[in-house]
Structures are given as structure tokens and as C-alpha cells.
């Protein structure tokens, strides 16, 4: 796919979507042992690694205050809605910026509809393709 295409199908393995130059940027995480959507979302909430930061990657998500909050994040199938995922967060997702919503949605799944929920609030289901990705997949080891 060329630059500026929607994120659908862009990532072969598990990726975490950080920001670079104001756009979503998928970073492959399978080599780091992250193999499930829940693990990917937890890695996203933990923020960019030092290697990621050296590449100019940032996050629009609020910083977590402790490891307990990270453990509360999970990705599950949505009851009565096949093909839809629910990401449970330790905070209200309706207060997040569009870029932060895109980070969470795309990290949870590049192909399924995703709804975000936390502290009694839920966002409408969106798809990763609702958020443009301007950069190719990279790994933390890439220059």
C-alpha cells in the first residue's frame, strides 16, 4: 500500500501504534514477545520505549499512574456482536483525542470494529481504517 492509505491489512504481526510527525505509526512488536491484542494494548498504554523515543515516536494517550492500571486493560470479543472487539481501559475513553482513539483502535485490531470502554463510558465502534496511517511498519531496531 502507498503512503496515506488506511491501516487495514498493513500489519502482518502484532503492532503497537504510536505517533510520528502527527500521524499513526505502527511498530512491530511480535519479536518482543507481544502476541495478543491485550498485550499490545498494554504495551501501548505503557508508552514508547527508549528506542521508540529515539526514532521520534510519541503517544497521545495519558500517562498511567501505576502498573495496576496497565493490568486492567484488556481486549475481548463484544457480546452479541461477532467481529467486534471491546477494549477495556483504566480511564474514560470519551475524553481522548482522535489520535489517541486511533492508537487504541488500531493497536487492538487492524481489521475488526473496536469499541473503547472505561469508567462507565463507551465510544462508538470504529475501525482502524477510520484513521490514516502515513508511515510503514517499523521495528524498534529500525533506524
What's the domain count of the chain?
1
In a domain, 8, yes or no: no
- Rg of the chain in Å (alpha carbons): 14
Q: Answer yes or no: is pLDDT of 125 > 80.
A: yes
* 116 DSSP assignment: E
What are the tens digits of pLDDT across the range 27-63? 988 777 888 899 999 999 999 999 999 999 999 999 8
In a domain, 19, yes or no: yes
In a domain, 45, yes or no: yes
In a domain, 70, yes or no: yes
Q: In Å, what is the CA distance from 91 to each residue of 45, 114, 119?
A: 11, 16, 6
Q: Where is pLDDT greater, at 124 or 70?
A: 124
Binning pLDDT at 50, 70 and 90, where does residue 2 land? very low
Binning pLDDT at 50, 70 and 90, where does residue 138 land? low
In a domain, 1, yes or no: no
Q: Quick one: which of 87, 76, 68 has its CA closest to 128?
A: 87
Number of Cβ atoms within 10 Å of the Cβ of 22: 10
**pLDDT for residue 24:** 94
Which of 5-14, 47-56, 69-78, 132-141 is predicted least confidently? 5-14
In a domain, 47, yes or no: yes
Residue 109: domain span: 15-130
Query: What is the C-alpha separation between 136 and 143, in angstroms, rounded?
Result: 13
In a domain, 107, yes or no: yes
Binning pLDDT at 50, 70 and 90, where does residue 79 land? confident
Task: Give residues with Cβ within 8 angstroms of 136, minimum separation 6.
Answer: 3, 10
Share of the chain above pLDDT 70, in %: 80
Mean pLDDT of 110-115: 90
Task: Give residues with Cβ within 8 angstroms of 113, minimum separation 6.
Answer: 81, 83, 84, 85, 125, 126, 127
**pLDDT for residue 142:** 43
Query: What is the C-alpha separation between 37 and 21, in angstroms, rounded?
Result: 25
β-bridge partners, 35: none
Amino acid at each position: 500500500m502507498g503512503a496515506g492509505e488506511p491501516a487495514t491489512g498493513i500489519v502482518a504481526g502484532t503492532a503497537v501504534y504510536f505517533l510520528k510527525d502527527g500521524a499513526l505509526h505502527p511498530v512491530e512488536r511480535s519479536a518482543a514477545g507481544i502476541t495478543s491484542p491485550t498485550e499490545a494494548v498494554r504495551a501501548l498504554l505503557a508508552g514508547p520505549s527508549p528506542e521508540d523515543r529515539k526514532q521520534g515516536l510519541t503517544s497521545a494517550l495519558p500517562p498511567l499512574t501505576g502498573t495496576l492500571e496497565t493490568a486492567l486493560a484488556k481486549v475481548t470479543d463484544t457480546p452479541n456482536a461477532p467481529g467486534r472487539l471491546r477494549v477495556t481501559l483504566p480511564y474514560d475513553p470519551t475524553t481522548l483525542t482522535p489520535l489517541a482513539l486511533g492508537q487504541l483502535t488500531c493497536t487492538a485490531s487492524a481489521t475488526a470494529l473496536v469499541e473503547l470502554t472505561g469508567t462507565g463510558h463507551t465510544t462508538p465502534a470504529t475501525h482502524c481504517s477510520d484513521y490514516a496511517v502515513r508511515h510503514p511498519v517499523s521495528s524498534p531496531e529500525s533506524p
